[in-house]
Chains A and B, each alone.
Chain A
Amino acid sequence: MQSSAHTADGTANVPRLAEHFASLEVQNHAARLGMWLFLATEILLFAGLFVCYGCYRFLFPEAWAAGSRSLDLTMGTVNTIVLITSSLTAALAVHYAKEGKNKMVGVMFALTLVMALGFLVIKYFEYAHKFHIGTLPGRYYFYEGMQMPGITLYFTVYFCSTALHALHVVIGMTVLAVAMVRAFKKKDFGPNNYTMVELGSMYWHLVDLVWIFLFPMLYLV
């Protein structure tokens, strides 16, 4: 846990410098590089599912077309807009953190969390509909309206990728909630101390980035 050295005027909050770093700049650089490395592993995690998508789409193009047309495009589009807008507020939170406007940081993260929750609620309705009509992965598929080889694979890929993405939404919400509470309570973000806001926000942008690819792949083509 980073603790801050509170100075008399309370404005120049600086995170504690670990002994093995030459300077605060080097420490921040290490933190940011570590975050990029972590995000690279996340990208490759999702890429595994993209490979499954590509291979099975190649083998079963008709099932893929039928499957994607059975999804609710309106809900998918609304969710895309919600997630892109939540990414904007997360970026603005970093902007305000650099200026030391802690209240705005908190408000921006609160807006992000509201939109994230909205995303999950819409996702829940989509899932509930699929459980109802039976477009489910593998052996659990029981929808009479679409019967063709490979159709169960489409829904396996659909559920695996959207569920993994939803898990990332929940993790991202947790991280942003912690940063939001800190912005409201400790109010110590400022030009020298915004690494937590920045890295949390980067994670949220990754969640957005993944959805930007998942949306056209699953809903449109």
Chain B
Amino acid sequence: MAIANESHQEEKNMHEHHGAGRYWLIWGVLLVLTVVTVVTGRMHLPSFGLLLALVIATVKGTLVALYFMHLSEHRGANRIVFGVSIVFVVLMLAIPMADLGTRFRGANPPGSQYSDLQPPDIGTGAQRGRFGGGLRPHQTKDTPETPEPGHH
């Protein structure tokens, strides 16, 4: 009897069974990459530090997805779902960044790198915060009211 959702898709998925050694190998590679990213991160490389860290993280993430999550043994729909979600993540990152990078300079928040305006009083001192630091009310008892930001 033919049933609508009958398929032989799964015969190709997850049926190969291999030794546990592969997982230990991936684990070792992940640890090495972690050490590499920490060492290079501590150097505070000027321009390509972020790029390098993200490339290493992407390699690690790919190893986890392919071997720990068995994506390397999957075909079809599972791969498409994962791939498409990554494409959407990239789009979601790229479009707001492109917006910020091309804005009229005055539209950026005051105090930011791409603004000529002075930062407002962000009120972050122990005695000064809008709520006197919020978590330390006892310290603000004797100090005068903090002026609202932007009133000076």
A87 at the interface (CB under 8 A from B): yes
Bound Cα distance A29, B73 (Å) = 13
B147 at the interface (CB under 8 A from A): no
Q: A33-B81, A55-B96, A60-B112 are in contact. Are A44 and B88 (CB under 8 A)?
A: yes
Q: Is the interface of A mostly helix, strand, loop or mixed?
A: helix
Q: Could you say which residues of chain A place their CB within 8 Å of the CB of B26? A: 88, 91
Interface residue tally of chain B, by bracket? 35 or more
Q: A58-B101, A142-B133, A149-B119 are in contact. Are A36 and B78 (CB under 8 A)?
A: yes
**B92 A51 Cβ-Cβ under 8 A:** yes
Cβ-neighbour of A147 out of B10, B49, B124 (below 8 A): B124
Q: A47-B93, A220-B53 are in contact. Are A209 and B64 (CB under 8 A)?
A: yes
Cβ-neighbour of B64 out of A43, A61, A139, A205 (below 8 A): A205
Cβ-neighbour of B30 out of A65, A84, A147 (below 8 A): A84
Number of A-B pairs, beta carbon distance below 8 Å: 205
Bound Cα distance A44, B69 (Å) = 18
A151 at the interface (CB under 8 A from B): yes
**A87 B68 Cβ-Cβ under 8 A:** yes
Bound Cα distance A68, B34 (Å) = 17
Q: Could you say which residues of chain B place their CB within 8 Å of the CB of A40? A: 81-82, 84-85
Give the contact stretch, choosing among A6-14, A18-26, A156-164, A166-174. Answer: A18-26
Bound Cα distance A61, B64 (Å) = 30
Rounded to whole Å, the gap between the CB of A128 and the closest CB of chain B is: 13
Q: Within residues 41 to 70 of chain A, which ones have a CB less than 8 A from any CB in chain B?
A: 41, 43-44, 47-48, 50-51, 54-55, 58-62, 65
**A134 B133 Cβ-Cβ under 8 A:** yes
Nearest chain A residue, comparing its CB with the CB of B88:
A44
Bound Cα distance A221, B8 (Å) = 47
**A37 B81 Cβ-Cβ under 8 A:** yes
Rounded to whole Å, the gap between the CB of A172 and the closest CB of chain B is: 13
**B89 A44 Cβ-Cβ under 8 A:** yes
**B93 A212 Cβ-Cβ under 8 A:** no
Bound Cα distance A151, B97 (Å) = 20
Bound Cα distance A22, B8 (Å) = 10
Give the contact stretch, choosing among A73-81, A117-125, A182-190. Answer: A73-81
Cβ-neighbour of B126 out of A47, A58, A142, A205 (below 8 A): A142
**A152 B7 Cβ-Cβ under 8 A:** no
Bound Cα distance A92, B131 (Å) = 50
Cβ-neighbour of B114 out of A59, A91, A147 (below 8 A): A59
**A61 B113 Cβ-Cβ under 8 A:** yes
Bound Cα distance A206, B50 (Å) = 22
Nearest chain A residue, comparing its CB with the CB of B110:
A149
Q: Could you say which residues of chain A place their CB within 8 Å of the CB of B64? A: 87, 205, 208-209, 212
Nearest chain B residue, comparing its CB with the CB of A69:
B44
Cβ-neighbour of A216 out of B54, B70, B77, B109 (below 8 A): B54
Cβ-neighbour of B113 out of A20, A59, A139, A201 (below 8 A): A59
10 chain-A/chain-B pairs, Cβ below 8 angstroms? A21-B5, A29-B7, A33-B81, A44-B92, A84-B27, A131-B135, A136-B135, A212-B64, A216-B37, A221-B41
